[in-house]
Chains A and B, each alone.
Chain A
Amino acid sequence: MRQFGHLIVNLLAIVVLGIGGGLGSAWYMVEAGSRLTTRSFGPWTTWIAAGRPDADPYTRAHTARNGLLPIASTLELSFYAKTDSDGDQLQSACDYAVTVEGLEGAWWDLAAFDRRGGVIPNGADRFTFSSDTAMREPDGRAVIVLARDARPGNWLPVGAGKVTLALTVQDAVLAAAVYAAGPIKPLPTIRKLGCR
């Protein structure tokens, strides 16, 4: 009877640890990525081989699972931020200032989404700012304010819940530097202005 108990415990251990560990680690590597597949710059994270035909299996799985169609990271990069520059979760109850500077010469676009990549409903029908549409400060910076209520300047409305910011930068030099793990131009900072 005691041996039978040991056998059951061992079989359960194989099944639970094997299935849980195998699928759990795969899910983590596909969803969150690792230092092998992603690079982070402050709050921004990018999948370094996204869209490339020679991408690693984790990147390909990430792209497929999330229904993405990325342009090859040799030309442009998509960075995603779920936290501000202090590491706190981005949420619509707070206001944030996103300061874009140092991306001169590159085409960029900053959009706010919910956590599943859906555009956030708002009365102003405003969902994104780009290097073509954002108003600049006298020193060339573009400051975009994320807030529920209207703000002067570049106001990007956010609805209820958690927010994901997507920054697309079309700059082959930046893309090459990220892929080669070299130094890159500074990416926008995300500063919390206050919460309700």
Chain B
Amino acid sequence: MNPRFPTPALPERWPNLAPPRLDVRQPARPAPPGWIRKIHWRAAIGALLLAGILHVTATLAVPLVGPGLAYQKLRELLPANTMVVVPPARPGKQLLPFLMPDAYYGICRFSLASEPVTVSAPLADLGWTLSLHTPQGDNFYVIPGQQLRTTDLSLVIVPAAEKSGDLIPAFTRRPAAASEDQIASPSEEGLVIIRAPLKGLAWKGEAEAALARAKCTPGLKP
């Protein structure tokens, strides 16, 4: 102690300057229910694995066994390799959900089991389409109509392995026309769909007449 600067004696009644203890209470965490605390971590991982397996299996299985599969519905209604004209959808008379209501549809269920299938169809206007689908709904070919111009299409659907023409008997081959094309189908069966939207009632007859010319026939000649 420096005698020149003596430390003043603290009064006995000096208040206690120690910081007050703050008794801050943390909000009580809700305790998990007893049954959750009983779950072992191995069981939790097992549940996750099972969930993952079921998730993948269910997702992959739906296109194979899905109850709403469009092809399964149409297969029961449509003969093979024949173009069927379906009038615009009306309540209770609708082939498939979300099908455009004011449109005629020409639908052909093709089967390539014995021979290729030739499709010929006019696409009369913008909005018209000709599309080819597998039974799973994959659209492997589509061609749209052009505005104010009728396009007469002719194409041959062949199994994917036959695209080269090697498996088509030589005597049935013929020179391809300028507008004719071979389309390789990834599946042996599928659907040809011609969509013909109506511009109004005045165009109904025109659309019907155009779709009446659409053909879907087995073999290489329409």
Determine whether the beta carbon of B97 is less than 8 Å from that of A58.
no
CB <8 Å contact, A26 and B55: yes
Residues of B within 8 A of A130 (CB): 102, 127, 197, 199
A42 to B29, CA, bound (A): 40
Most chain B Cβ neighbours within 10 Å, of A10, A52, A78, A166: A10
Residue of A nearest to B96 (CB): A67
Cβ < 8 Å to A, chain B residues 14-51: 35, 38-40, 42-44, 46-51
**9-residue interface stretch from B68-76, B114-122, B174-182, B208-216:** B68-76
Give Cα distance in the complex from A80 to B97, angstroms.
13
Residues from chain A with a CB closer than 8 A to the CB of B150 are none
| A contact residues vs B (CB 8 Å cutoff) | 5-6, 9-11, 13-23, 25-27, 29-30, 51-53, 55, 57-58, 60-61, 63-72, 75-76, 78, 80, 107, 109, 111, 113, 116-121, 125, 127-128, 130-133, 166, 168, 170
- Whether A69 touches B127, Cβ cut-off 8 Å, given contacts A21-B47, A51-B138, A64-B66, is no
- Residues of chain B contacted by A117 (CB below 8 angstroms): 96-99
| B40 CB contacts on chain A under 8 angstroms | 6, 10
Separation of A130 and B126 alpha carbons in the complex (Å): 11
| Residue on A nearest B97 in the bound complex, by CB | A117
Expressed in whole angstroms, the minimum distance between the Cβ of A68 and any Cβ of chain B is 6
Q: Are A18 and B51 neighbours in the complex by a CB distance under 8 Å?
A: yes
A/B interface sample: 20 pairs, CB < 8 A:
A14-B43, A16-B47, A18-B46, A18-B54, A20-B51, A21-B48, A30-B59, A61-B63, A64-B68, A64-B136, A65-B62, A67-B96, A68-B137, A69-B191, A70-B137, A109-B102, A119-B90, A119-B101, A133-B102, A170-B129
Cross-chain contact A53 with B138 (CB below 8 angstroms): yes
The answer, among B48, B49, B50, B89, for a CB contact under 8 Å with A119, is B89
